[in-house]
Structure 1
Amino acid sequence: MTSTDTVAPIRRALISVSDKTGVADFARALAEDHGVEILSTGGTARMLREAGVTVTDVSSHTGAPEIMDGRVKTLHPKIHGGILGRRGTDDAVMAEQEIAPIDLVVVNLYPFEQTIAKPDTDRATAIETIDIGGPAMLRAAAKNHADVTLVVDGADYAAVLDDLAQHGGARETTRRRLAAKGFAHTAGYDRAIAAYLAGEDASPGNAQADALPARYAPVYTKRTDLRYGENPHQRAALYADGRHTEASLVDAKVVQGKPLSYNNLADADAALSCVKAFDQAPACVIVKHANPCGVAVAPDLTSAYRRAFATDPVSSFGGILAFNAELGADTAEAIVSNQFAEVILAPAITEDALAVFSKKKNLRVLITGPWRKSDKGGLVVKPIAGGLLVQDDDDQLLDRSQLKAVTKTEPTGEQLQDLLFAWRVAKYVKSNAIVYARDGATVGVGAGQMSRVDSARIARQKAADAGLEVAGSVMASDAFFPFRDGIDTAAEAGVAAVIQPGGSIRDDEVIAAADEAGIAMLFTGMRHFRH
């Protein structure tokens, strides 16, 4: 401890928590080992007494009973004066008003986010779960951390007890750290309430929903530090959004392998997002550097995997493999006998498959749990210098009623199925995106080029390198073709049908190029840029 790291004594503690994990042992240690007087309220007081801890009810301490079914119990000068009183400055007025100092505040708030996450929670129940007294005490203690110690997280009980044992009170560094944690806690709590009341999760088009509020203040909780970021010289950590309820990597169960890196998580998120788009048949998505390099649907996962891998065996090496159904031993054997992979993820994995994967000790294996068809991405945030870009997630999928045939030749039924498949894949490929597909599998993928024609050429070259035939396949483009050269490139490759948004000032020229080549072309009226 440095000479400037002052110690604040703890003689009296107020404990009122909704998460009671470990609090009885903490309170007992405070009282029995350090002689701390314990004040408490309601359910916390009952629980502590049942655990054998001597407790003084807040109502006895203040001389004022709890009223309004507990809505008002700690909003009293003897509580807030005891917390906010400056030692050495306000001692006289505290003595005059018979206000005893409260040196430790242990508070965590009503579980608002957990309550509204339940599908059967009505608005009245949600409103009653908004904590008032808790945040007030928490903020008071954090403000007065020069004299008062605040604990909002049970993980910090040990640090406070260590300070008491070693220094006879809480060190300034401990108090300052816990105060910052307290204000972050209330910031996140208030943001969740504001988002709920503003209807942040309401569907687009709801005039009453303020989906993009005037003040956007996301609050995330650190789950773990990562070894480094995209590169070894960059620090990184994984944070969780407490309101997020869909299947995600943040809550996925890592059943084996090395810790996930920043790049692993980014690529695995891209793979999971893409594979969620397929729910009609077993599907496999292989991602490398945030782009799908192979995607396929098939009657079973093993076939889907083999067809996805065949698109680009070179890029698939060291890739992220995502599946949309329970992964069994046959698929696991097909993977480990065929390639090196960084991450495997699926909603469920059989014990036999896990036994197969266990032969590859460094392979990361994740179980996400099932995802719902209604899973939505919510808001997407992109930092820029000086601020953030915030938008709705691109969660719109296409149905046949939106398609417009614009050429003399119309696609066959089989081609239509492949066009819809290719369109779904293209949504997850970095712009400019071109996807060739046939029979429910990618044939070639061109991603992230400055020119759409270059993407088309790269996709064609990828197919050739993999020994796959582009002729007779279909092509999807994430945005319109500004010139006919993209269609001319497709014609040279033998593409039979194209799906694209349309909307170029040269659409007539592009349609004419397709008609000249006998290519069927559909307009979607929707684009899927992915930067």
Structure 2
Amino acid sequence: MKKKKQIIQTAIISVFNKCKLVKFATGLLRNNIKIFSTSGTRSELNKNNIQTYHINRLTQYPEIMNGQIKTIHPKIFGGILGNKKKYFDVIQQYQILTIDMVIVNFYPFNNIDKNIDIEKMIDIGGPAIVRAAAKNYKNVIVITNILDYEKVLHEIYNTNSVSIKTRLQLAYKAFDYTMNYDYNILKYYSSKMKSLYANQKKHFFPKQLNLQYIKKQKLKYGENPHQKSVFYIKKKNSFTGTIGSFKQLHGTLLSYNNISDANIALECVNQFDKPACVIVKHGSPCGAAISKNIQISYLLAYNSDPISSFGGVIGFNNIIDDDTIRLILEKQFVEVIVGPEITPQGLQSIQKKKNIKLLICGYCNKKNISSLELHSVNNGLLVQQNNIVNNHIHDWVVVSKKIPSDLEKKNALFLWKIVKFVKSNAIAYGNNFHTISIGSGQTSRIDAVKIANTKYCSEYKKIDCKKQNIIMASDAFFPFRDSVDLASVVGVSCIIQPGGSIRDSEVIQAVNDHNISMIYTGIRNFKH
């Protein structure tokens, strides 16, 4: 037997966003639907000659406490939750009018106006009646999004009712809406809590972590082709200059590894004010440079390790021009190019290679860099402060007899910013503000040094670096002097490292034996 259609006779409207309200209410009246509304909404409708009943016609109770209490009443909730068949006696006894439709939206806390007293704007009754209506979606239509007005009116015009499928969709949206509303209020109170801890040394981590991410797009696959993957971004909080803000202007479908490597490339180059380029391969930089323009920066970064650069992700912090694109296409096969902007000519050149993925993210505002870094583990989440500590030259301690020159210190600072993105154990060699060899991802520091030496001495090396002018950066301390002894073979003249080994005295003796200067930063830069 076909279920009888539920005729819509009554509606409650109480909205902050009054856009499209008049047209929608007019449509309801044309279908003989009686409208009850709160003071603000009713005033707006009356101005447009739409007659409604005040909500107190249902409650027989005035709005009190500056309108804070207007819908919190048994007759309102009885009318929304009541089922005429199931609760017929109760409805008759207390003269409850059943409600067929609820249209409610609230103050948008995702865009907080600093001039408004936020706490006064927190809605109590609105979310409650939305939840009640959504719970009873089989009997009540709930609308929280003005974009649904037209669809609902269309169904009412054609059937004098609304389908159960639409009711369920609207209920889903309503619960999602109230959840986001509560989440935005929670963020507001969280920021107030953080301000209480601002002068304390301990970083404020909430007892409960509430995260909201939305799906940006599906990906080609995960780390491997048999793994499915999608990309989520932070809801309503995607700042320019971050991987979450990218627009893909060219190329095939991105993979999990493409996004991961592009993120590392962006975070690395965005540390620098001068034109910078970094090439990332398998989660670790293999070449990086800063120079007077990005074309030279790219060439220096590529020459650091042409073999590893094959199939890598190239990141820039300045506008990508046509000359740089042409140079990249001449030099190597590339998976992804990511940067803030590209010239029209550069885009035309890259479009000749259909498989190269071009991601444009806008320019980075360093104030918007996330303060937290998240890493999922099986049935858990690791959360830490982002590694954005500003370690300046004046914070360093020179522990060697030989004093590094000002140029060596500046190069050491450049490498120190690069090595923190290299997988541990990590060693980076460089000079003249570009890397010349990187050893990464080893289980012992001496092996990372051996790899850096091998790459430096490789027959594929295209650049000429004068010995005794190589800077070495180590992401953590040297457990033994053997790494220093081995580094001296290729002509390292200055070493930057955190210090802190129980054998620091042996390591310092080694640099003095080899006439190498050494800087302690006091900060470790592991990257796992």
Measured against the shorter chain, the TM-score band is 0.7 to 0.9
Give the one of 256, 262, 266 matched to 1:268: 262
C-alpha separation in 1, matches of 2:269 and 2:196:
23
Question: Which AA in structure 2 matches 1:449?
Answer: Q
C-alpha separation in 1, matches of 2:253 and 2:145:
25
C-alpha separation in 2, matches of 1:226 and 1:149:
36
Deviation at 1:499, TM superposition (A): 0.8
Give the one of 115, 118, 133 matched to 1:126: 118
Q: TM-score, normalised by structure 2?
A: 0.85
Match of 1:213 in 2: 206
Matched, 1:144 2:139: no
Matched, 1:505 2:502: yes
C-alpha separation in 2, matches of 1:105 and 1:180:
14
Deviation at 1:180, TM superposition (A): 4.9
Deviation at 1:69, TM superposition (A): 4.9
Q: Residues 93, 324 of structure 1: CA spacing in aligned structure 2 closer, same or farther, 3 A cutoff?
A: same
Question: Which AA in structure 1 matches 2:358?
Answer: V
Matched, 1:195 2:195: no
Q: Residues 339, 298 of structure 1: CA spacing in aligned structure 2 closer, same or farther, 3 A cutoff?
A: same
Give the one of 236, 245, 248 matched to 1:251: 245
Give the one of 397, 400, 404 matched to 1:407: 400
C-alpha separation in 2, matches of 1:106 and 1:317:
57
Deviation at 1:413, TM superposition (A): 1.3
Asked whether the 8 Å contact 2:142–2:174 carries over to 1, the reply is yes
C-alpha separation in 2, matches of 1:288 and 1:316:
7
C-alpha separation in 2, matches of 1:512 and 1:20:
75
Question: Which AA in structure 1 matches 2:179?
Answer: A
Matched, 1:453 2:446: yes
| Identity %, equivalent residues | 40
Match of 1:480 in 2: 477
Q: Counterparts of 1:45-84 in structure 2 under 5 Å?
A: 58=55, 62=59, 64=61, 66-84=63-81
Asked whether the 8 Å contact 2:7–2:160 carries over to 1, the reply is no
Match of 1:350 in 2: 343
Which one is further off, 451-460 or 51-60?
51-60
Question: Which AA in structure 1 matches 2:227?
Answer: Q
Deviation at 1:253, TM superposition (A): 3.0
Matched, 1:467 2:459: no
Give the one of 85, 96, 101 matched to 2:98: 101
C-alpha separation in 2, matches of 1:31 and 1:458:
78
Question: Which AA in structure 1 matches 2:131?
Answer: R
Give the one of 102, 107, 112 matched to 1:110: 107
Secondary structure of the corresponding residue to residue 90 of structure 2: helix
Matched, 1:277 2:271: yes
Deviation at 1:110, TM superposition (A): 1.9
Q: Counterparts of 1:233-244 in structure 2 under 5 Å?
A: 233-242=226-235, 244=237
Give the one of 385, 391, 394 matched to 2:387: 394
Q: Residues 208, 394 of structure 1: CA spacing in aligned structure 2 closer, same or farther, 3 A cutoff?
A: closer
C-alpha separation in 2, matches of 1:48 and 1:224:
41
Secondary structure of the corresponding residue to residue 115 of structure 1: coil
* 1:289-332 Cα shifts (integer Å, max 9, x gaps): 22222211001111111111222223323322222122233323
Asked whether the 8 Å contact 1:222–1:240 carries over to 2, the reply is yes
Secondary structure of the corresponding residue to residue 245 of structure 2: coil
Larger Rg: 2
Secondary structure of the corresponding residue to residue 457 of structure 1: helix
C-alpha separation in 1, matches of 2:281 and 2:3:
49
Asked whether the 8 Å contact 1:500–1:523 carries over to 2, the reply is yes
Question: Which AA in structure 2 matches 1:250?
Answer: G
Match of 2:511 in 1: 514
Q: Residues 449, 148 of structure 1: CA spacing in aligned structure 2 closer, same or farther, 3 A cutoff?
A: farther
C-alpha separation in 1, matches of 2:86 and 2:173:
26
Deviation at 1:368, TM superposition (A): 1.9
Alignment: residue pair count: 521
Secondary structure of the corresponding residue to residue 349 of structure 1: coil
Match of 1:527 in 2: 524
* 1:46-77 Cα shifts (integer Å, max 9, x gaps): 77788998765545555555555544443333
Structure 2 spans left out of the alignment, 5+ residues: none
Structure 1 spans left out of the alignment, 5+ residues: none
* 1:248-291 Cα shifts (integer Å, max 9, x gaps): 22233333333433322222111111111112x11112222222
Secondary structure of the corresponding residue to residue 250 of structure 1: helix
Matched, 1:306 2:299: yes
Question: Which AA in structure 1 matches 2:184?
Answer: A
Asked whether the 8 Å contact 1:201–1:378 carries over to 2, the reply is no
Secondary structure of the corresponding residue to residue 342 of structure 1: strand
Asked whether the 8 Å contact 1:377–1:395 carries over to 2, the reply is no
Q: Residues 481, 209 of structure 1: CA spacing in aligned structure 2 closer, same or farther, 3 A cutoff?
A: closer
Match of 1:330 in 2: 323
Question: Which AA in structure 1 matches 2:123?
Answer: D
Asked whether the 8 Å contact 2:414–2:433 carries over to 1, the reply is yes
Q: Residues 389, 151 of structure 1: CA spacing in aligned structure 2 closer, same or farther, 3 A cutoff?
A: farther
* 1:484-517 Cα shifts (integer Å, max 9, x gaps): 2222222223211111111111111111112112
Asked whether the 8 Å contact 2:36–2:53 carries over to 1, the reply is yes
Q: Residues 10, 512 of structure 1: CA spacing in aligned structure 2 closer, same or farther, 3 A cutoff?
A: farther
Asked whether the 8 Å contact 2:84–2:91 carries over to 1, the reply is no
Asked whether the 8 Å contact 1:491–1:517 carries over to 2, the reply is yes
Asked whether the 8 Å contact 1:87–1:147 carries over to 2, the reply is no
Matched, 1:421 2:414: yes
C-alpha separation in 1, matches of 2:486 and 2:445:
10
Match of 1:491 in 2: 488
